[in-house]
Chain A
Amino acid sequence: MTQAQPSVNGDVAPLRNVTLLDELVKRVMNRPPHLPGMGCFYGHSGYGKTVAATRAVVVNRAVYVEVGESWTRKKLCTALLRQVGVPAKRTVADMIEQIIDCLCRTKLPVLVDEADHLARKGMIEVVREIHDKSGASIVLIGEEMLPELLSRWERVDNRVLDWVPAQPASLEDTRHLARLYAPGVEIGQDLLAKIHEAGGGRVRRICVNLERARERAAIEGLEIMGLAQWGDEPFFSGRPPARRR
């Protein structure tokens, strides 16, 4: 891509989930002092939770960690300390103290992505301790089942101020994604609607189809890509192709 592209950022309406998560983070941060400060944002894979997290991190200068399947409590602590630029001490207990100290002083919110792993491995109590002692705002982000997983830890469950489910991508979201992923090509409204439908609300799938549309337009030298130009090529639906006969 060598030609200059029109800039798409800044002044267009953001994706629905971006707004939802940002509002949740702000609500948790601005809560009255007697209320608990944890939030939970959950939804199906591919709904664009991580994109939303990126924006929430940038706007609120949040501390972000993505928990890995293999993580231990120690790894969680070192990752958090690394994000805030504090050299980690040796034991988990000391590190938790360092984290609490830093969050107390800076009042930064924390976003924990893939928080399902925390709940499954019992590391969630570490997060609760940090929350209780620092008063920091902590938003857990995870899959559809996250609220159910958290309900097993009553002490955590009680501290959640608000549960916000991620929403499937709307047609408006699809339009926004088209501006970002297919710049320089005008995607026809009919094709846009089809792509939206085929995506089943998954941002990821919509992006793949938009990307294909852009690529086809670039290869065939088209400025407008509508349903007529697209033809009957199947859309990417995330499912393996049907059996060939």
Chain B
Amino acid sequence: MARKPIHQQSRMRGQDHYWRIISDLDRDKKPITVSSVHALSNGSRAAVVDYVRRLVKGGYLRPAYMLGPAQVYELERGSLQTPRLDKDGQTVRMGSGREKMWLIMRMKKPFNYRELADAASADGVRVAEGEAKDYVKHLFKAGYLAEVEKFGPHRLARYRLCDDRDTGILPPQIQRTKQIWDPNEGRVVWSAGGVS
């Protein structure tokens, strides 16, 4: 079955959910085991096992001690965002261009799309200017960005993220259905046909 668009899915699911549970268990000083994570999640046990294995390989979790038959893990490295890791524990690069662009916008400096692409291209990630342009265009339409310098015959428009649209750490997503989903607010903030 095809995956549903994100706005039709339940709020917390998959790796985001497991990661949240792990962080919460760590904060509450409770043992982190596959079972304790699985019990609080709505995913399959196999999915939890798989994600925990990736976190261990990526250096986020460390096997600490045995509690009866169960392996207890300790959080080695925290992260604000859910670590996205491949099966060898390497960070997955997909989507990280958007993440970097959003991070830059949240610094509240005026920028044009070219500067944004240049600044976000770092750390093995390359953001194409077209990609930056498209992201800026959509966020502007959705009211996230204010134009601080107008587009002219020989110059690019410059934008700045509005204070009240600095919604959180996760980058707003442009969905294929031509709408923008803000994962911080958990709602569709703009759609080509108007927000319902």
Q: Give residues in A with beta carbon < 8 Å to B.
A: 1, 5, 7-10, 50-51, 53-55, 57-59, 61, 64, 66, 82-85, 101-102, 104-108, 180, 183, 211, 214-215, 218-219
Q: Which of B80, B100, B114, B120 contacts A180 (CB 8 A)?
A: B114
A222 to chain B, nearest CB (A): 12
B62 to chain A, nearest CB (A): 14
Contacts of B28 in A (CB 8 A): none
Q: Are A85 and B184 in contact (CB under 8 A)?
A: yes
Of listed A50, A54, A61, A83, residue having the most chain B CB within 10 A: A54
Contacts of A8 in B (CB 8 A): 114, 118
Contacts of B156 in A (CB 8 A): 1
Given A57-B107, A58-B100, A107-B78, decide whether A219 and B154 contact each other with a Cβ distance below 8 A: yes
- Stretch binding the partner chain, chosen from B7-15, B31-39, B41-49, B125-133: B125-133
Contacts of A183 in B (CB 8 A): 114
Assess whether B27 is interfacial by the CB under 8 Å rule: yes
Assess whether B23 is interfacial by the CB under 8 Å rule: yes
Secondary structure class of chain B's binding surface, majority of residues: loop
CA distance A8 to B108 in the complex (A): 23
Return the 3 tightest CB-CB contacts between A and B, nearest first: A105-B78, A9-B121, A85-B169
A82 to chain B, nearest CB (A): 7
Q: Are B129 and A5 in contact (CB under 8 A)?
A: yes
Given A105-B26, A108-B80, decide whether A58 and B103 contact each other with a Cβ distance below 8 A: yes
Query: Closest residue of chain B to A176, judged by CB?
Result: B118
Q: Are B129 and A218 in contact (CB under 8 A)?
A: no
CA distance A55 to B118 in the complex (A): 9
Q: Which of B27, B78, B129, B166 contacts A7 (CB 8 A)?
A: B129
Q: Give residues in B with beta carbon < 8 Å to A.
A: 23, 26-27, 75, 77-80, 100, 103-104, 106-109, 114-115, 117-123, 126-129, 153-156, 166, 168-170, 184
User: Can you add 6 more A-B contacts, CB < 8 Å, to A54-B107, A85-B184?
Assistant: A1-B154, A58-B104, A58-B123, A66-B108, A104-B78, A108-B80
Q: Which of A9, A51, A105 contacts B126 (CB 8 A)?
A: A9
CA distance A105 to B156 in the complex (A): 41
B189 to chain A, nearest CB (A): 17
**A-B pairs with CB below 8 Å: how many?**
79
B18 to chain A, nearest CB (A): 16
Q: Which of B27, B120, B154 contacts A105 (CB 8 A)?
A: B27
Contacts of B115 in A (CB 8 A): 180
Given A1-B154, A5-B114, A7-B129, decide whether A58 and B120 contact each other with a Cβ distance below 8 A: yes
B128 to chain A, nearest CB (A): 7
Q: Are A85 and B128 in contact (CB under 8 A)?
A: no
Contacts of A84 in B (CB 8 A): 80, 169
Q: Which of A7, A50, A59, A211 contacts B122 (CB 8 A)?
A: A59
Q: Are B79 and A106 in contact (CB under 8 A)?
A: yes
CA distance A53 to B155 in the complex (A): 25
Contacts of A82 in B (CB 8 A): 166
* 8 A-B contact pairs sorted by A residue (CB < 8 Å): A1-B155, A9-B121, A9-B126, A51-B119, A61-B103, A104-B78, A180-B115, A183-B114
Contacts of A51 in B (CB 8 A): 119
Given A58-B103, A84-B80, A215-B155, decide whether A105 and B122 contact each other with a Cβ distance below 8 A: no
Given A58-B100, A84-B80, A105-B27, decide whether A7 and B107 contact each other with a Cβ distance below 8 A: no
Contacts of A104 in B (CB 8 A): 78
Given A61-B103, A64-B107, A66-B107, decide whether A55 and B119 contact each other with a Cβ distance below 8 A: yes
Q: Are A58 and B122 in contact (CB under 8 A)?
A: yes
B184 to chain A, nearest CB (A): 7
Q: Which of A1, A9, A83, A215 contacts B106 (CB 8 A)?
A: A83
Q: Are A105 and B23 in contact (CB under 8 A)?
A: yes
CA distance A218 to B155 in the complex (A): 10
Q: Which of B80, B121, B153 contacts A10 (CB 8 A)?
A: B121
CA distance A215 to B121 in the complex (A): 25
Given A1-B156, A9-B121, decide whether A57 and B77 contact each other with a Cβ distance below 8 A: no
Contacts of B80 in A (CB 8 A): 84-85, 102, 106, 108
